């Protein structure tokens, strides 16, 4: 019997979809966090230079934090995968019959008849490297060719995407007077949130209009709260 196709719910999403999702979420974090920070500073009556300095500090601190977090996440994942593969290689060397029995169970679970499963297991066990590769993918759910990705590229991508998003609300304050810059910052930020909401519709299964408007409304609400908090505490400080 030919192996049956796995149910749709068990299939992994396309790599391109994961990349888009990570890109949108990374840029969204930068935009929302700096947008709210700048609105809080503006609400508190901070001077233009102070607002710009706060925005730059928020961009750099947030981007570094995101990059470090992503680097640690991927590095830890790679180290764990390496440890699992080493343990699996040891088991293949010390208990080949036990590993063969596991392979038979795996192939039976994929829809092969017992006889065919045993033949496939025998063929795979003839090559220790192939055995390790198969067991890594089928039992450990680890792709030996990727091992969770490159931590440096992941960290760099996270840094860049966060910075790109954080620049959107900051740039107007670098080129315009405070009141004018606030209007541009709000407009550009909401437009950016709309675009990100439309992009999220590619992987969240919701309609594009719904996703876009939801993103705008939530971002505007959070920014309004921080603006109000800045005005309240700014007045208290003064």
* pLDDT tens-place string over residues 22-76: 778 889 999 999 999 999 999 888 888 999 999 999 999 999 999 998 899 889 9
For the entire predicted model, the pTM comes to 0.74
86 Cβ neighbours under 8 A, 6+ residues apart = none
Residue closest to 145 by CA, chosen among 81, 50, 71: 81
* pLDDT tens-place string over residues 84-110: 888 888 888 888 888 888 888 888 888
């Amino acid at each position: 019997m030919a192996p049956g196709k796995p149910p749709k719910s068990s299939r992994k999403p396309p790599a391109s979809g994961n990349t888009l999702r990570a890109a949108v979420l990374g840029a969204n974090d930068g935009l929302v966090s700096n947008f709210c920070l700048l609105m809080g500073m503006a609400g508190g009556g901070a001077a233009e230079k102070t607002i710009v300095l706060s925005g730059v500090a928020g961009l750099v601190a947030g981007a570094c934090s995101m990059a470090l977090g992503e680097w640690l996440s991927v590095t830890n994942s790679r180290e764990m995968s390496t440890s699992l593969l080493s343990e699996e290689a040891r088991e293949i060397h010390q208990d080949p019959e036990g590993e063969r029995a596991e392979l038979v169970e795996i192939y039976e679970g994929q829809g092969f008849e017992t006889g065919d499963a045993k033949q496939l297991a025998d063929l795979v066990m003839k090559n220790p490297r192939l055995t390790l590769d198969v067991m890594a993918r089928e039992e450990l759910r680890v792709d030996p060719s990727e091992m969770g990705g490159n931590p440096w590229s992941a960290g760099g991508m996270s840094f860049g995407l966060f910075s790109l998003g954080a620049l959107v609300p900051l740039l107007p304050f670098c080129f315009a007077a405070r009141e004018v810059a606030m209007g541009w910052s709000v407009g550009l930020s909401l437009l950016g949130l709309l675009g990100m909401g439309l992009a999220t519709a590619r992987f969240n299964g919701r309609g594009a209009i719904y996703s876009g408007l939801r993103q705008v409304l939530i971002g505007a609400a959070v920014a309004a709260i921080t603006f109000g908090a800045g005005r309240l505490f700014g007045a208290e400080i003064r």
